[in-house]
Amino acid sequence: MKESKLTSNIDERISEGPMSALERKLIKQYLHGKGYSLEDLHGLPKEETKRLMTKACRYASLKLAEIEAKAKLRKEIHFPF
């Protein structure tokens, strides 16, 4: 099966930014919970890959936002000025 443009650079798409390592871990965590790995996506149809990655990225974004909110709250509690 020919590798699609969508799946050919999945790692590259999630490897940018200051939280990229954590984002990658969260995406892998989501996929693992669904019974997949990043490598498995290369063999799936384009539509299925897009659907899974969209959901995985949403999951990672929500988790990152939660982590950032907790960090901000801690900072405000410890340094209220």
- Global confidence as pTM: 0.71
**Each residue's pLDDT expressed in tens, for the chain with a length of 81 residues:** 444 555 556 666 655 666 788 999 999 999 999 999 999 998 999 999 999 999 999 999 999 999 999 988 877 787 766
| Per-domain boundaries in the chain | 20-78
- pLDDT confidence of residue 44: 93
- pLDDT confidence of residue 40: 93
| 18 phi-psi bin (left φ>0, alpha ψ -120 to 50, beta other) | alpha
- pLDDT confidence of residue 43: 92
- pLDDT confidence of residue 1: 43
Residue 52 is classified by DSSP as H
Are the C-beta atoms of residues 27 and 14 closer than 8 Å to each other? yes
